[in-house]
Structure 1
Amino acid sequence: MRRDHFIDLRPLTTSPAYARMWIGSTLAGLGGQLTIVAIMLHMYDLTASTFAVSMIAVAGLVPMIVAGLYGGMLADAFDRRRVALIAATVTFVSTAVLMTLTWSGAETIAWLYVIAVVNSSANSVVMAARAAIVPRLIPATLLPAASALGGITMGIMVSIGPAAAGVLVAFTGYGWTYTIDLVLMSALFLGLWTLPAIRPEGETVRPGLRSLADGWRFLRRAGNIRLQFLLDIVAMTFGQPLALFPAIGALLLGGGPITTGILTAAIAVGAFFSSLLSGPVSRYRWHGRGIERAIIAYGACIAAFGIVLVLGAFRVFAPAVVDEGSANVALIVLAAVTLAASGAADNISSIFRNTMVQSAVPDAIRGRLQGVFIVVVAGGPRLGSLYAGVLATATTLWFPPLLGGFVIIGLVLFLVRLNPRFRAYDAEHPVS
């Protein structure tokens, strides 16, 4: 394989400040994934309800939206480094409370919901500020490569994190899992603390209604940015079966928490390898077409995952008993392959979408648009959890992904056909 097929590492070698932030974010994100998956498993242990698990994401939706939008306004008004540090401190304290409650045996369903909401809200602010910082640390020509490195980060986080969470919960319990997250999270402070002060360029507007209105006025004029947000919401709403994984591991495919970790990790493995081989993706200039094709491929993969679950429902390749101690290994492997392919497709879409926001949006308003971007990226999966949890409760576990995959394909084709300018988007001449 030619060298130019592999990821471009120049952002790390060109900017030591970016490299430190990338390493710190990767380690902290890995710990955060331990807690995300552990809270899901913890909730399922306490309630035995897929709906209760899905409501973890739903409960945090409105606070996460508010935090993402307000965090974007903060990033456009103050030192972005300081904004990220303060929000990261909130996440650290919140996780420390969860760890203490768990070790003392005082954790409750209500506390799990509260901690999940606080963490998701604070992380939205961190991500909005951090994403607005990146274009100030590296040249514009390296933004696609930096987005691909973000895919590497996500791949490491969501492949190692969930798998490790499943193993840690199964063999050591929840207390150690939350404790390890705190240790890893300390790396984020090192990555942010060593950055220089980064204030927004141009006119600044203090957080408030005027700042928010300016952001929305820009978004109304930015047809390409607006459509890519909408396409991602479609993909994440109808193609995010994460809330089903605990029940799939317990009832449908067997294997319990370990299966939950494997399925979650498979998505990130696909993202990791698609970033590792992202050389051609970083050089592809027609980002609108790239987003369209990647999301259609994502929908096809999610539909294929639903077909694998149908086979599990009809006990194809199944052992005599399917439970936490006896798994349908063949179908777990097939399910992991389809999810890995979906992770690859989603990551390619993310490279194009993130680069579009960072290159086509002026610095003075970039924080607010990054806030909207984070709301879309983080809020879509929460709507997806609601869709999957409610529909699975009313029907069966395989129906939400099977239906959702075909809905994604149809809606993407329809929306892009209505907006031909999007397919003509050229990264060498970015127009919002």
Structure 2
Amino acid sequence: MSLSRSLIDVRPLRTSPVFRRLLVGRTVSLLGGYMTLVTVMYQVWDMTRSTAWTGAVGLAQALPLVVFGLFAGARVDRADRRRIFLTATVGQAACSLLLAVQGFAGHVPVVTVLALVAVQSCFGALGAPAAGVFVPRLLPKDQVPAGLALNQITGQAMFLLGPALAGVLLGWLGIGVCYLLDALSFGLAFYGAFGLPALQPEGEPSRAGMRGVLDGLRFLAGHRVVRGALITDLAATVLSFPVSVFPLVNAERFGNSPRTLGLLLSALAVGGLAATALSGSLTRLGRPGAVMLCASATWGAALVAFGLSTDPWIGLALLAVAGAADATAVVSRSTIVQTRTPDALLGRVTAAEAIVGQAGPSLGNVRGGLVAGWSSGATALVTGGVMCVLAVTAVAATTPELRDRATGLPDAP
């Protein structure tokens, strides 16, 4: 196999100027978003010196997505997705601007900061399912996996760069400037989507309110391939997500060095970035279900091996493997969702996928923390990884459609 076919497939950048603009806008906006995530955590900790309040930041970000996500998806499936995305982007930018104002002013209650974060997350819950229809509507079907891989690699890169940049700017320019830069970053996201044509749902629009939500849930319950993809993701995250265990494992095995802890956290992202950069052969393969199952099982197995390892360098290598497997599984899962879901339902199914992606790691961190508290960090990692592999095997055995080539895409040139 040639090296060029192993490298990430960049055909969408060559063939679709609209996708190119969207990707640039999304990338800059993600950079601002990760900067704001660090800035909010820093500000809330500085104001309260309480881990309970810093934990509430995650709650303020996650609850709107979980509570309103499916209703937002139903709304997206009834209207012009472009207009909804632009409205949500303006709303998010306004919240960042208000965060900047309070950052410059100072002396505001911590609940004000959390309220602004929650409102911004509400707009995000509306914009995410709208953006979820862009790639399959703008690219040929055989280029959809490549488009999703490009989204993934830029997201991984911003996840590495954003927090580091925020750390530098916080010490140099202060919290207000970081929030202001995030507000400005939404301008590029708005520009990227402004040139899109109207994107009305293809097919019968969603019914209003709860009836539309229930229609989406019925589709998920009845479509074995899409349902299997989301269950596989839940199995990998709820049963084995490891991040909450890292501080304890670092103390148990690696001398409790802050530097080692930072490397543990970075290794997952580095592995994901490398895997996505070399994803060309997998996205061209046309078998996203099989790739997702193999990658999810590899994630679990790598975490088992990490739990058993005592050498920090071997541990970092195993986490990089886990991160690579996770990134591959995410691209494959999104490919299944966006190519197997009818356009008229795509907003609701994308919203469900976002909820799974948000809730799964959060629940997995709770599970890992509880098991580690009762036993040890290594036990939490090994038991979680084993359960993940068993669960993925069960999904593969009971959902043969995920393994079949018929569920994939045509071969790409």
TM range (shorter): 0.7 to 0.9
Q: Which moved more, 1:281-290 or 1:363-372?
A: 281-290
Count of equivalent residues: 407
User: 1 CA distance for matches of 2:267 and 2:79?
Assistant: 38
Structure 1 unpaired stretches of 5+: 317-330
User: 1 CA distance for matches of 2:38 and 2:243?
Assistant: 10
Q: Is the 8 A contact 2:289 2:402 kept in 1?
A: yes
2:394 maps to 1:414: yes
Once the two structures are TM-superposed, the CA of residue 50 in structure 1 deviates from its matched residue by 5.5
Match for residue 190 of structure 1? 191
TM score, norm. by length of structure 2: 0.86
Match for residue 384 of structure 2? 404
Q: Is the 8 A contact 1:305 1:401 kept in 2?
A: yes
2:343 maps to 1:342: no
Match for residue 226 of structure 1? 227
2:141 maps to 1:114: no
Q: 1:399 to 1:386 in 2, by over 3 A?
A: same
User: 2 CA distance for matches of 1:396 and 1:411?
Assistant: 22
User: 1 CA distance for matches of 2:316 and 2:169?
Assistant: 20
Once the two structures are TM-superposed, the CA of residue 23 in structure 1 deviates from its matched residue by 0.9
Alignment RMSD: 3.1
Mapping of residues 256-275 of structure 1, within 5 Å: 260=262, 263-275=264-276
The aligned amino acid for 2:330 is S
User: 2 CA distance for matches of 1:51 and 1:405?
Assistant: 29
Q: Which moved more, 1:131-140 or 1:88-97?
A: 88-97
Q: 1:37 to 1:232 in 2, by over 3 A?
A: farther
Mapping of residues 152-167 of structure 1, within 5 Å: 152-167=153-168
Match for residue 85 of structure 2? 84
Q: Which moved more, 1:141-150 or 1:241-250?
A: 241-250
Once the two structures are TM-superposed, the CA of residue 47 in structure 1 deviates from its matched residue by 5.7
2:218 maps to 1:238: no
Q: Is the 8 A contact 1:303 1:405 kept in 2?
A: yes
SS of corresponding position for 2:200? coil
Q: 1:183 to 1:395 in 2, by over 3 A?
A: farther
Match for residue 288 of structure 2? 287
Mapping of residues 74-153 of structure 1, within 5 Å: 74-153=75-154
Q: 1:253 to 1:44 in 2, by over 3 A?
A: farther
Q: Which moved more, 1:265-274 or 1:104-113?
A: 104-113
Once the two structures are TM-superposed, the CA of residue 130 in structure 1 deviates from its matched residue by 0.8
Q: Which moved more, 1:113-122 or 1:366-375?
A: 113-122
The aligned amino acid for 1:366 is L
- Given the alignment, which residue of 357, 368, 389 partners 2:337? 357
Match for residue 72 of structure 1? 73
Once the two structures are TM-superposed, the CA of residue 335 in structure 1 deviates from its matched residue by 5.5
Match for residue 14 of structure 2? 13
Q: 1:104 to 1:337 in 2, by over 3 A?
A: farther
Q: Is the 8 A contact 2:93 2:184 kept in 1?
A: no
SS of corresponding position for 1:197? coil
User: 2 CA distance for matches of 1:398 and 1:43?
Assistant: 32
User: 1 CA distance for matches of 2:326 and 2:115?
Assistant: 29
User: 1 CA distance for matches of 2:159 and 2:373?
Assistant: 26
SS of corresponding position for 2:201? coil
User: 1 CA distance for matches of 2:210 and 2:379?
Assistant: 42
Once the two structures are TM-superposed, the CA of residue 115 in structure 1 deviates from its matched residue by 3.7
Structure 2 unpaired stretches of 5+: none
Identity of aligned residues (%): 32
2:31 maps to 1:30: yes
What's the CA shift string for 1:204-223, capped at 9, x where partnerless? Answer: 13431221122122122101
Once the two structures are TM-superposed, the CA of residue 83 in structure 1 deviates from its matched residue by 0.7
Q: 1:254 to 1:44 in 2, by over 3 A?
A: farther
SS of corresponding position for 1:341? helix
Q: Is the 8 A contact 1:294 1:345 kept in 2?
A: yes
Q: Is the 8 A contact 1:50 1:246 kept in 2?
A: no
What's the CA shift string for 1:128-152, capped at 9, x where partnerless? Answer: 1111122111111111111111221
Q: 1:253 to 1:37 in 2, by over 3 A?
A: farther
TM score, norm. by length of structure 1: 0.83
Q: 1:428 to 1:398 in 2, by over 3 A?
A: closer
What's the CA shift string for 1:48-94, capped at 9, x where partnerless? Answer: 66665445334544421233212211221111011111112222222
What's the CA shift string for 1:300-352, capped at 9, x where partnerless? Answer: 333445456xx5xxxx8xxxxxxxxxxxxxx4x66654433222111111121
- Given the alignment, which residue of 350, 373, 380 partners 2:360? 380
